[in-house]
Amino acid sequence: MRETLKLFPDDLTADEIARHVLDISHIRAVPITEKADLSLINDALSSGEDSASRTALDQVLVEPVHRALAHLPRTLLLRPGLWHYLCMERYRDLVWERWWSGLRPGSVAEMLSRPAKIRRFGCRPSMNGMARNALARLFWAGETLRSPDGDYSLARQVFTMQETHQQVFDNTFGLAPGVARAFVAAAQGRNNEEVQRMGKSLNLFGSTIMLDYLDESDVAALLA
């Protein structure tokens, strides 16, 4: 069953985010016309409760998060307010569990002392900002790395090593799905240093050639 989605403001301070998720003050969510079948995410959460690690939960969720939201207008998907609502309200407990090990700070000041983790609730209107939000990062991994025939294997693989995810979504080549897929495929079995070198090499190639005009096999050859 589809449920009505809501929006929070696009611009929220870390203090506003902390006060809302700690139930000190509340931000009003505004209903919008778009709906989504969030049962896809809910069912995956139920099946992923026994995941051996928190990163394994990312692999469980990347496909259902993308499938649940892929029909939405891109203008909406690029709005921080959507991801604010999903992470600060609808799936707040998920963010606490995945990124805070289920341990909630005792005060706003304590929470503000961990800005990197606050960003998992919040979202900025940038590639880096989307890559830090707890659910936006899953959606855009699915959007970028799903194969043309609908296979999510690479989208799951990118969450097996944090360095691979950072290289793809902190660099502009992550905006080209074919290039990103080739990079993730080539990163399989590599260690952190090797993946970092691959990212630097691809950025260097990108300064002299238009990577997004290459086939995935051509990019793979550059990284071999």
What's the 3-state SS for 145-195? HCCCCCCCHHHHHCCCCHHHHHHHHCCHHHHCHHHHHHHHHHHCCCCHHHH
Distance CA 185, CA 183 (A): 5
Is 42 within 8 Å of 73 (Cβ atoms)? no
Can you tell me whether residue 70 is helix, strand or coil?
A: coil
pLDDT of residue 168: 95
Q: List the chain pLDDT tens, one digit each, 224 residues.
A: 899 999 999 999 999 999 999 999 999 999 999 999 999 999 999 886 655 577 799 999 999 999 999 999 999 999 999 999 999 999 999 999 999 988 899 999 999 999 999 999 999 999 999 999 999 999 999 999 999 999 999 999 999 999 999 999 998 888 999 999 999 999 999 999 999 999 999 999 888 989 988 999 999 999 98
Distance CA 169, CA 175 (A): 8
Residue 182, amino acid: A
Distance CA 112, CA 96 (A): 15
pLDDT of residue 54: 73
Distance CA 79, CA 9 (A): 9
- The model carries a pTM of 0.94
3 burial type by CB count under 10 A (0-12 exposed, 13-18 middle, 19+ buried): exposed
Distance CA 164, CA 174 (A): 11
25-30: long-range contacts, CB 8 A cutoff, minimum separation 24 = 27/88, 29/85, 29/89, 30/6
Nearest Cα neighbor of 179 from 171, 161, 23 is: 171
pLDDT of residue 172: 86
Distance CA 215, CA 64 (A): 28
- Tokens 């090797």 map to which residue? 194
Q: What is the DSSP code (8-state) at residue 28?
A: P
